Amino acid sequence: MYPKKTHWTSDITTDLHGREVTLAGWVWELRDLGKVKFIVLRDREGFVQLTLKVGKTPEHVFRVFSELNREDVIVVKGVVETSKIAKRGVEVFPTDITILNKAKPLPLDIWSETPDLATRLKWRSIDLKRPRNLAVFSLASKILREIRETLYGERFVEVFTPKIIVTSTEGGAELFPVLYFERVAYLSQSPQLYKEQLTASLERVFEIGPAFRAEKHNTDYHLNEFISVDAEAAFMNYHDVMDILEKIMKRVVLVLSENVARLREVGLMPVVTELDKIPRVEYDEAIEKLGQLGYSVKWGDDFTVEMQKALMRFYGSVYFIIDFPASLRPFYTKRKENDRSESYDLIINGIEVASGATRIHKRDELEEEMRKRGLDPKLFESHLAVFDYGMPPHAGFGLGFNRLLTALLGLDNVRHATLYPRDRYRVEP
């Protein structure tokens, strides 16, 4: 048995001067200056310098040093000392090093170069050792925690709805077929209909899980499998759920601001580090502003990323667009006067990150909206039936988690915010 890791690299501060610690991680860098030798050790949380000095460091540690290669897995016992030279003012003098596993020379550079995306994704599990990736995906986990804690605080319960389904949620979107024993089923594109149905029992529900879209286009902002944060609440309207999204975003931005130092170290700068009220911009006003800026866009059009970026000069990097034309939204969206709808998008750094609405809770209205969109209500009978037995008014949102991370960190491709992306041409690793 090897000794247990007692500290992470980020725990090693000057406060620990003189203390014995056990670290475990990977050899990031080796430097041999003769009588002094250095190992930079990496773990998920960062780096620490191990210093070997002739006369101070035991002989057997030097022997281990001579066998080391980059990315070898080691466990190190040593004593923390403050240092005037070492990064972060602290170093560790090892008293024992054990090699737990050897590493061959890596198939891609994770130290100084950033290879092209295709190479990085091909060797994704190795690429994830890159400090920037460690920072991004550690942050992702913290953001998820804030999202859930906000929703728990608003008395939502977490649910899981099936991913193998028999009918389309929206009617339109393309689905991946699954061979389910003797029949064909499909992968769920969204928990939309299930979460709406659940408002009739659990009232406030959320789900964070995979969603699947068989869309053939291959863009920087689309994935064929992505993580969707879905929430739906009885007795709320679209402004109520925007209030909740606002609360979520405030907590998320707080986490971002707390992590600015680490993000900066890996060359990232969050797009937002402060957030007060998120403006709720009417669709009509957005159209007008875009007209002023010379965009040829008319009422009834959807916005492009470029237009959404252009609107930032008026509303900042985080804003809602509300009251979209009903014709632009799915059948379950509640209509308001003048062909508008009680709907909204959340735009961050020009990217549509979430979208939501008050939903229709009356069966006859729902059927009418289906027909307007050329959908046959008969195909949705099992969903519609639930509306006969006490469906409350409700509202909700769907938020693309990978996009949220992409937008917040100003990444240029959603694949950077996804551990193992799935797209038109990529289904492994």
Of residues 202 through 241, those in contact with a second copy by CB under 8 A are 202-204, 209-210, 212, 214, 216, 224-225, 227, 234-235, 237, 240
The number of residues that bind a second copy (CB under 8 A) is 92
Residue 102 CB, nearest approach to a second copy (Å): 8
Burial, 61: exposed, middle or buried (Cβ in 10 Å; 0-12, 13-18, 19+)? buried
Strand partners, 165: 186
Instruction: Please report whether residue 179 would count as binding a second copy according to CB under 8 A.
Output: yes
Question: Is there a binding annotation on residue 398?
Answer: no
Q: Residue 7: what are its φ and ψ, rounded to 5°? A: -135, 150
Instruction: Please report whether residue 111 would count as binding a second copy according to CB under 8 A.
Output: no
Instruction: Please report whether residue 104 would count as binding a second copy according to CB under 8 A.
Output: yes
- Report how far residue 239's alpha carbon sits from residue 259's, in angstroms, rounded to the nearest whole number: 30
Q: Residue from 5, 251, 280, 309 that binds a second copy (CB under 8 A)?
A: 5
Q: 154 vs 315, which CB is nearer to a second copy?
A: 154
Instruction: Please report whether residue 391 would count as binding a second copy according to CB under 8 A.
Output: yes
Instruction: Please report whether residue 246 would count as binding a second copy according to CB under 8 A.
Output: no
Closest CA to 369 of 326, 338, 403, 336: 326
Instruction: Please report whether residue 159 would count as binding a second copy according to CB under 8 A.
Output: yes
Q: 289 vs 383, which CB is nearer to a second copy?
A: 383
The site map against a second copy for 348-387 (x = CB under 8 A) is: -------------xx-------------------x---x-
Instruction: Please report whether residue 428 would count as binding a second copy according to CB under 8 A.
Output: yes
Does residue 89 contact residue 124 with C-beta atoms inside 8 Å?
Answer: no
Instruction: Please report whether residue 274 would count as binding a second copy according to CB under 8 A.
Output: no
Q: Residue from 171, 377, 393, 410 that binds a second copy (CB under 8 A)?
A: 393
Q: Residue from 29, 58, 89, 107 that binds a second copy (CB under 8 A)?
A: 107
Q: Residue from 16, 126, 254, 305 that binds a second copy (CB under 8 A)?
A: 126
Closest CA to 381 of 399, 367, 396, 361: 367
Question: Is there a binding annotation on residue 374?
Answer: no
From 67-75, 111-119, 337-345, 408-416, span contacting a second copy (CB under 8 A): 67-75
Question: Is there a binding annotation on residue 359?
Answer: yes
- Report how far residue 200's alpha carbon sits from residue 394's, in angstroms, rounded to the nearest whole number: 9
Residue 313 CB, nearest approach to a second copy (Å): 34
- Report how far residue 241's alpha carbon sits from residue 238's, in angstroms, rounded to the nearest whole number: 5
Q: What is the DSSP string of 121-149?
A: HHTHHHHTTSHHHHHHHHHHHHHHHHHHH
3-state secondary structure 314-338: HHCCEEEEECCEHHHCCCCECECCC
From 48-56, 59-67, 96-104, 316-324, span contacting a second copy (CB under 8 A): 96-104
- Report how far residue 99's alpha carbon sits from residue 65's, in angstroms, rounded to the nearest whole number: 10
Does residue 137 contact residue 182 with C-beta atoms inside 8 Å?
Answer: no
From 89-97, 155-163, 281-289, 321-329, span contacting a second copy (CB under 8 A): 155-163
For residue 299, the one-letter residue type is: W
Strand partners, 345: 321, 355
Residues making up the binding site for ATP: 213-215, 352, 400-403
